[in-house]
Amino acid sequence: MTFRIAVLDDYQNVALDLADWDSLGPDVTVVPFHDHVADEDALVARLEPYDAIVAMRERTPFPARVLRRLPNLRLLVTTGFVNAAIDVPAARELGITVCGTEGLAGMVSTVELTWGLILALARRIPQQDAVVRSGGWQLGLGMLLQGKTLGVLGLGNIGRAVIPVGRAFGMRVTAWSRNLTPEKAAEAGAEYRPREAFFAEADVVTVHLKLGPGSHGYVTRDDLRRMRPTALLVNTSRGPLIDEEALAEALREGWIGGAALDVYGTEPLPPGHELRHLPGTVLSPHVGYVTEDSYRGYFAQIVEDVAAFLKGKPIRELG
């Protein structure tokens, strides 16, 4: 019998070109989908025939109620090794194997995008580009990073990798998260600051936390209120980590100087969403990990995951 694989959210139409799917044999069929389906019933109708699903990060949620409606599903593979959008315990109860991928390139690409967004926001690069293209010349003043304070929220692999770049720009680097200690911050090359001081002192706050049950709304309205009116906020982690309603208010009313966002509470960001129209923003469509290098790594490991599953010896299972 044919083993059918659905590859979701292949927006760039590259999934079939970046891995050796043919190595899985003639009895495996791979179907990439290039659009995003948000409606749950439509999603279930599309995926019901498939034995395996490849999910691109958290773009498509798989809560228990969706998994129960996919009786043919035997394998769910996600890019990355953590996916808050998949109910892994429910999948296990239903006999669905959930596997992930590793990938240093994805981490590095997110660090690089973080600094791209910081620079774009601080120097108003998108606005300067737009004014030149429209026939104008020079718009407003940029922010010099040298001598400013970079606040790193979360010192996991990505947060720690951001620090040396900040120091190369001549920035003071501070850090805070709920479980961070001064000793751990110092080991990473940052100065620990208590929550209130962290937000009040930073010229740039960059968010690098994992999304979990306890981290929704990690950055609160009060935190945004403590920030300087010239301070910048950058988020390349997950949208729900920040109180999005409060952030929109902060941008509307000038509590902060601007925000650069790669992630959102709802993705893709709805066409009429307020964030698309607020001043002082640089927006990108969740592309922190979207590079050819990271995709090649992801898809190669996805093929390995499928091959191991078909042999009855799953690898890289999420637990």
Look up 267 and say whether it is catalytic: yes
Long-range contact pairs involving 279-286 (C-beta distance under 8 Å, separation at least 24):
279/251, 280/251, 280/256, 281/251, 282/117, 282/120, 282/121, 282/125, 282/126, 282/258, 284/113, 284/117, 284/260, 286/57, 286/59, 286/262
Question: Closest Cα to residue 125, out of 146, 113, 114, 139?
Answer: 139
Alpha-carbon 49 to chain mean position: 29
> Is 112 an annotated catalytic residue?
no
How many Å apart are CA 191 and CA 282, to the nearest integer?
A: 28
Q: Which of 252, 286, 296, 304 is catalytic?
A: 286
Q: Of 201, 208, 238, 244, which is the active-site residue?
A: 238
Query: Choosing from 267, 273, 292, 296, which is the catalytic residue?
Result: 267
Based on its alpha-carbon atoms, the radius of gyration of the chain, rounded to whole angstroms, reads 21
Angle at 82 between CA 75 and CA 88, to 5 degrees: 45
Residues marked as catalytic: 238, 267, 286
